[in-house]
Amino acid sequence: MESRRRLRGARRIVALTGAGVSAESGIPTFRGPDGLWNQFRPEDLATPQAFERDPVLVWEWYDWRRARIAAAEPNPAHRALAARPDIALITQNVDGLHALAGSRDVIAVHGDIWTLRCVDCGAERVDRTVPLPELPPHCAACGGRQRPGVVWFGEPLPADAWRRAGEAAAHADVFLVIGTSSRVQPVAGLAGLAKLVSRAWVVEVNLEPSGSEADAILQGKAGEVLPDLLDRG
């Protein structure tokens, strides 16, 4: 298969993952019939204005998501990627399952649901307690309100993660787009960047083609496609 041949010959492989990679761990995706954005309105829960308006409501939703994620385990897709430390890994997921599977140095462009950040002084801490004892939680340093350390609609991406993601894409020979609808910018543009700047071969792994700029589409569950695709044997 062409994609396998390209992967074997590649010097730099980059993988970009989305919610579909954690679906087989039981974590809901955002779009599609069972997606979170079909049941909840992002403007009520995932914007700075929503947090300003009703921090408790926003935190209740994140606390619920944290509990679901805490009960989940990495699946074969996370493990197949963790077994390939030579592949630069960019994720839109905030669940931390790539790290739990053993991936190091994950470029988390949409932040991390386990990080709490003070809206007043910016101090951050990682706290995996579920449920959180007080909503909203408060900063130990200054007493300010803490928010989830994730990127909300209308916010810029964390500068360092975004710089690293762009650099990785610009040097990729093969760029894997795994389990993402490729609908959310600027991250959805990384595959195009990889093609344009480094003439990367773009392979999409998804249940259905997402309309990304893929040269090849491997249709199926990430947990079934990746172990074989990334196996070096």
Q: Contact residues for ligand OAD (CB under 6 A)?
A: 18-20, 23-24, 29-32, 35, 92, 110, 150-151, 179-181, 183-184, 205-208, 210, 221-222
Closest contact distance (angstroms) between CB of 211 and ligand OAD is 9
- Measured CA to CA in angstroms, residue 102 lies from 38, 66, 90, 150, 156 at distances of 32, 20, 14, 21, 28
Is 98 marked active-site? no
Closest contact distance (angstroms) between CB of 141 and ligand OAD is 26
- Running DSSP on this structure, what letter comes out for residue 49? H
- Say if residues 96 and 114 touch (Cβ distance below 8 Å): yes
Closest contact distance (angstroms) between CB of 232 and ligand OAD is 22
* Residue 8 falls in which region: left (phi positive, over 0), alpha (psi -120 to 50) or beta: alpha
Q: Which is nearer to ligand OAD, 25 or 146 (CB)?
A: 25
Q: Select the residue whose beta carbon is closest to ligand OAD and give its number.
A: 20
- Say if residues 17 and 89 touch (Cβ distance below 8 Å): yes
Active-site residue (options: 78, 98, 110, 171): 110
Residues marked as catalytic: 110
